[in-house]
Structure 1
Amino acid sequence: MSHAVMDKRPVAPRPATLAHARLPRWAPAAIAAGSIALGCGLGLVADWHSKVQWGLVSALLFVLITYVATSRVEGKRQAKDRVATSLVWVSFVLAIVPLVSLAWTTAVRGSKALSGDFLGHSMAGLANTDEGGGVYHAIIGTLEQVGIATLISAPIGLLTAVYLVEYGRGKLARAVTFFVDVMTGIPSIVAGLFILSTWVLTFGMGFSGLAGALALAILMMPVVVRSTEEMLKLVPNELREASLALGVPKWRTILKVVLPTAIGGITTGVMLAVARITGETAPVMLLVFGNAFINNDPFNGAQSSLPLFVFEQYRIGTEASYDRAWAAALVLIAFVMILNLVARGIARWKAPKH
């Protein structure tokens, strides 16, 4: 009987994993600070008047220094990864700086005229060059016009999305999808001209808040269709099949299963569409026509709105009108921000619980 001969030679230990040299954690911040300092120094030496040039040069230096430092310490492969990350951060900063600057400028300049009297009074009986006045009539006009546009476009957009997702087949569905895509990119002035040529000139209905709401509804409808369509597609097919297997008709399945499941996303899409049309100026200029007095009836007579009020006051060109324009712009931004926060709150509230 042969016995296996065991090798009693000591097994050499495995080599430890090689530790690659890496830049310290504070390196990106230090490179960013040095790039900003170099960019500002070059701007001062070259006498560049635009701070935008300073920022662009600093961003370029940040990417170049990051690549050089990383390639020397960590290698070219890691340097490419660092450069990609740096480009993402630079793009984020370049995108956020104008937004923060705009919000800050609007808040600083708008707070001069913003007060309770400004929110509670109109421009009735006040010359455009005088100080004082308010934006109450424009707030009423914006709320009524946007509300009517929502009442028109939300049901139509919802039903269109339900048709495209649940029933749409063949040429008709493709045609509807094509026209929705076309309407998504339609300029706002075109929607205003369409309502002007039909509702005002052809039918002779006159300028009113309703005319402006019709144009806003045209702009809002494709946004509602697209957002609702995407939310309905996210509903699992298993829910539909389970309901149909129990003998529930398809229309009732859509009404009781599909729509309640997607209601959070649908509501969020509608709110974002409302925020999108709130700041439209061109259709309002053509159809609402502007009014310095309070008009609570959107179906008769000219009205005002916040975007139109900002345009009119800024066009006057006096110091008082500039203050009113900035204050109205601040109110408009606050209104849109509130709508976005409400949309986020509804999305969190209606999100599926795990």
Structure 2
Amino acid sequence: MSRATNRRLANSVFVVLCGIATVIALGALVLILWTLFSKGIGGLDVMIFTHDQPAPGSPGGLRNAIVGSLIMCGLGMAIALVVGILAGTWLAEYGAGTKYGMVIRFLNDVLISAPSILIGLFVYEMLVAPFHGFSGYAGAVALAFLATPIVVRTTEDILSLQPGALREAGMALGASRAFVIRRIIWKSARTGLLTAGLLGFARISGETAPLLFTSLGNQFYNANPSQPMASLPTTIFQFALSAYDDWQRLAWVGALLIALAVLAINIIGRYLARETHRP
């Protein structure tokens, strides 16, 4: 066969393999979503959002877990976005070719792949054991440790892709480097920074292990982060392992809520990103 025929054949094989891999991945995703909807949609009602964790055999909902997850994820993402965007900006704009920047980048990559249970143990030793008590603040810090490396890495990659002409044009007009980054580079990369936040939230939204060591859980409603707090992942973990059918039903509802929340935030993020690109 000629070289052109070999290339066409190799291309066809590659396309077929990519198509098969895509079908397998989408099939697994459809099966997961179908299981969540089929087992969780039946228990989704108003009581889920208005009642707290029930005793076995009693009616109840997941209000305390939903509120706890919102508070801890919100605090964790606030920390992760501030630290992550600033650190990623430094790596992209100031430490790109320095040895110190290479060390920071390597350590950040290590943190990305660090098991979440180790993060939970670390925060336990730092914020729980010394103060002799679990708290929502400790849970938020643990979640921030998990989300920050992702925000850092994504921010660095996005800023590195911005054209150098933007920096040169700003500084040619007499603007300082920090001003150019704040008012030009960040504005140009705002869609990527939004993506960084979405990836960080997706990373922490379903984490259970670090919260078991930090916020512990709470069967009652509590909006004070200085006390132990319930969360959807820890409640799902507890209810899914129980022998009570009503608790297992609530566990499926909680899993469905997390999946819908992540899906909704990603859709909103995509919509906002599209709006920012409109003339």
Q: Which residue of 2 aligns with 1:163?
A: 90
Q: Which residue of 1 aligns with 2:258?
A: 332
Q: Which residue of 1 aligns with 2:181?
A: 254
Task: Work out which of the residue numbers 178, 202, 215 in structure 1 matches 2:106.
Answer: 178
Note if contact 1:264-1:349 (Cα within 8 Å) is conserved in structure 2. no
Residues 203-253 of structure 1: per-residue CA shift (max 9 Å, x gap):
215201111111110111110001111111122111111111111111111
Paired with 1:76 and 1:183, the residues of 2 have a C-alpha distance of 44
| Aligned residue runs from structure 1 range 129-278, under 5 A | 129-168=56-95, 169-201=97-129, 203-204=130-131, 206-278=133-205
1:117 and 2:51 aligned:
no
Note if contact 1:113-1:324 (Cα within 8 Å) is conserved in structure 2. yes
Q: 1:319 to 1:229 in 2, by over 3 A?
A: same
User: TM-score, normalised on structure 1?
Assistant: 0.74
TM-superposed deviation, 1:102? 1.0
Paired with 2:23 and 2:145, the residues of 1 have a C-alpha distance of 35
Where does the alignment leave 5 or more consecutive residues of structure 2 unmatched?
A: none
Paired with 2:205 and 2:171, the residues of 1 have a C-alpha distance of 41
Q: Which residue of 2 aligns with 1:17?
A: none
| Aligned residue runs from structure 1 range 79-118, under 5 A | 80-118=10-48
Query: Aligned letter for 2:30?
Result: V
| Aligned residue runs from structure 1 range 16-35, under 5 A | none
Q: Which residue of 1 aligns with 2:270?
A: 344
Paired with 1:156 and 1:78, the residues of 2 have a C-alpha distance of 49
Note if contact 2:128-2:135 (Cα within 8 Å) is conserved in structure 1. no
Residues 250-294 of structure 1: per-residue CA shift (max 9 Å, x gap):
111111111111112101211221121111110011111111110
Q: Which residue of 2 aligns with 1:38?
A: none
Query: Aligned letter for 2:52?
Result: S
Q: Secondary structure at the match of 2:189?
A: helix
Paired with 1:146 and 1:230, the residues of 2 have a C-alpha distance of 24
Across the two proteins, how many residue pairs are aligned to each other? 275
Note if contact 1:195-1:215 (Cα within 8 Å) is conserved in structure 2. yes
Query: Aligned letter for 1:83?
Result: V
Note if contact 2:139-2:214 (Cα within 8 Å) is conserved in structure 1. yes
Q: 1:260 to 1:113 in 2, by over 3 A?
A: same
Q: 1:214 to 1:305 in 2, by over 3 A?
A: same
TM-superposed deviation, 1:77? 7.0
Higher relative contact order (Cα pairs below 8 Å, separated by 6+ residues):
2
TM-superposed deviation, 1:96? 1.4
TM-superposed deviation, 1:131? 4.2
TM-superposed deviation, 1:318? 1.7
Residues 71-102 of structure 1: per-residue CA shift (max 9 Å, x gap):
xxxx8876554433322222112111121111
User: TM-score, normalised on structure 2?
Assistant: 0.93
Aligned Cα RMSD in Å?
1.8
Note if contact 1:164-1:229 (Cα within 8 Å) is conserved in structure 2. yes
**Identical pairs, percent:** 35
Q: Secondary structure at the match of 1:186?
A: coil
1:286 and 2:184 aligned:
no
Q: Secondary structure at the match of 2:43?
A: coil
Q: 1:90 to 1:241 in 2, by over 3 A?
A: same
1:315 and 2:241 aligned:
yes
Paired with 1:279 and 1:296, the residues of 2 have a C-alpha distance of 20
